[in-house]
Every structure is written in structure tokens, then in C-alpha cells.
């Protein structure tokens, strides 16, 4: 019985061996430019700054007054492109760092973020605001 089984098993093993893929994956190592590393760190810093800004209590109060859900805004920040984050971070850099105009500046920043989020909703990247109609 063993003699009868050895021939089909050996053909099967031979065929299985021939079907194996022996190609070798090569690793490609390249130097990463300093500008690339700095740009990546700046993008991450921008994302953290905007997230920290939206986490502030006074900003969340103003967003709730404007009808924007703070948790949804945080999700939207994580889905923003690098150029959109850079625009928001640059707008935050232009804001005064304190003093008399804190509330007006805060409202301006919240409105700016609201407009950016609204534009991404109109374009169809997200579906947050129920008053924006989405055609498909």
C-alpha cells in the first residue's frame, strides 16, 4: 500500500515545490532630507496646536454657541490636509497672544475653523452639518 501512495504524493510534492515563489525582495534605503523631516515635524506640530486650541474650554463654549460639535471638530482636524492645517496654524499665528481682544479673536478663530470645516463638508469630504446637501 505504501508503494502505491508514494508515487502520487511525490508528484504532488514536486508540483508544490515548483509552484513556490523564490523571488527575493530587495530593500531600498535612501537618505531622508532634512527638509522632509522638518516639514513632517512642522505638520505634526500644526496638528497638535489646532487640536490643543479646540480642546480649550472657552473655544468649546463658543463652538457650542455656533452649533458646532467639539468632538466632531476634533475628528475633522485629524482628517484635514497638511495645507489646510498650515492655513489654520498661520491664522492662529496672526492672532494676538492676549490682552483686550481675546474674545473677539477667539470668535474669529472659531468662525475661521467653522468655515474651513464647512467648506470640506460642501466639497463632500465629510458629512457633518445636516444643513449641507450632499448630491451623489
User: Is the pLDDT confidence value at 84 over 70?
Assistant: yes
Structure confidence at residue 104 as a pLDDT band (50, 70, 90)? low
In a domain, 96, yes or no: yes
Torsion of CA 54, 56, 60, 62, to 10 degrees: -100
Q: How many CB atoms lie within 10 A of CB 133?
A: 6
pTM for this model (two decimals): 0.49
In a domain, 100, yes or no: yes
In a domain, 12, yes or no: no
In a domain, 116, yes or no: yes
pLDDT digits (tens, 9 = 90+) for 112-126: 888 887 788 788 777
Give the residue, 14 or 73, on which the prediction is more confident: 14
Q: Which domain holds residue 89?
A: 35-136
Cell readout for 40 is 513632517
pLDDT of residue 102: 57
In a domain, 10, yes or no: no
Amino acid at each position: 500500500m505504501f508503494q502505491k501512495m508514494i508515487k502520487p504524493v511525490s508528484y504532488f510534492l514536486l508540483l508544490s515545490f515548483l509552484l513556490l515563489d523564490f523571488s527575493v525582495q530587495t530593500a531600498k534605503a535612501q537618505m531622508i532630507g532634512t527638509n522632509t523631516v522638518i516639514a513632517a515635524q512642522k505638520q505634526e506640530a500644526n496638528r497638535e496646536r489646532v487640536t490643543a486650541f479646540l480642546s480649550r474650554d472657552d473655544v468649546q463654549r463658543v463652538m457650542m454657541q455656533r452649533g458646532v460639535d467639539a468632538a466632531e471638530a476634533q475628528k475633522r482636524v485629524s482628517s484635514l490636509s497638511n495645507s489646510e492645517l498650515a492655513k489654520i496654524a498661520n491664522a492662529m499665528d496672526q492672532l494676538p497672544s492676549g490682552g483686550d481682544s481675546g474674545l473677539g479673536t477667539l470668535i474669529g478663530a472659531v468662525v475661521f475653523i467653522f468655515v474651513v470645516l464647512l467648506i470640506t463638508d460642501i466639497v463632500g469630504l465629510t458629512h457633518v452639518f445636516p444643513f449641507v446637501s450632499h448630491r451623489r
